[in-house]
Amino acid sequence: MTDTVTKCKKRIQKLLTSISRLRDNGCVFRDFIKESGYKCGGYTMAEHIVSRKFSNTYSDLDNIICLCYVHHIIFKPESPTVYTRIVKEYLGEGWVEEIEKKARKSCNFGLKDWQKEEERLKEVLAELST
């Protein structure tokens, strides 16, 4: 991956975080504190349901939820099974399966594709910010 693509993807990640914060109104696990055992805390970030290594869904807003630091960095690694169950409950079983299916489709993203995604996300953020 070129340095230019890497920088573009970092900008995309920042856009995804801003969008998820506005769209989800904070950590989506706030309604699942009893199940997770953790109260929300710390800054929020965009969590990819399916790994960021898949270009098809890297910038897909259906693959993103907003999580706080506690649920993303502490709870997820400590309780991956409960984390997955909560995500499926929040998004719906079929939703997660569709994202996983889409992620595994073959694609080759180049710099122009990433720049196009960045522009699309800027537009989404502008709409959410108004």
CA 10-111-124 angle, 5° bins: 60
Domain assignment of residue 114, yes or no? no
Question: For residues 67 and 13, what is the distance between their CA atoms, to the nearest angstrom?
Answer: 14
How many domains is the chain partitioned into structurally? 1
Instruction: Report the pLDDT value the prediction gives residue 70, as an integer from 0 to 100.
Output: 96
**Cβ proximity of 27 and 71 under 8 Å:** yes
Residue of 90, 106, 101 lying closest to 30 (CA atoms):
90
Which two tokens mark 105?
């489709």
The boundaries of the domain holding residue 32 are 3-107
Residue of 101, 120, 124 lying closest to 112 (CA atoms):
120
Amino acid at 76: K
Residue of 129, 130, 122, 113 lying closest to 14 (CA atoms):
122
- Stated pTM of the model: 0.91
Task: Note down pLDDT in tens along the chain; length 130 residues.
Answer: 679 999 999 999 999 999 999 999 999 999 898 888 899 999 999 999 999 888 889 999 999 999 999 999 999 999 999 999 999 999 988 888 899 899 888 788 899 999 999 999 999 999 999 8
Domain assignment of residue 42, yes or no? yes
Instruction: Report the pLDDT value the prediction gives residue 1, as an integer from 0 to 100.
Output: 63
Domain assignment of residue 92, yes or no? yes
Domain assignment of residue 21, yes or no? yes
Residues 6+ apart with CB under 8 A from 73: 42
Which two tokens mark 73?
């960095």
Domain assignment of residue 19, yes or no? yes
Domain assignment of residue 117, yes or no? no
What is the DSSP annotation of 59-88?
A: T-GGGEEEEEHIIIIIIHHH-HHHHHHHHH
Domain assignment of residue 74, yes or no? yes
Instruction: Report the pLDDT value the prediction gives residue 43, as an integer from 0 to 100.
Output: 95
Domain assignment of residue 112, yes or no? no
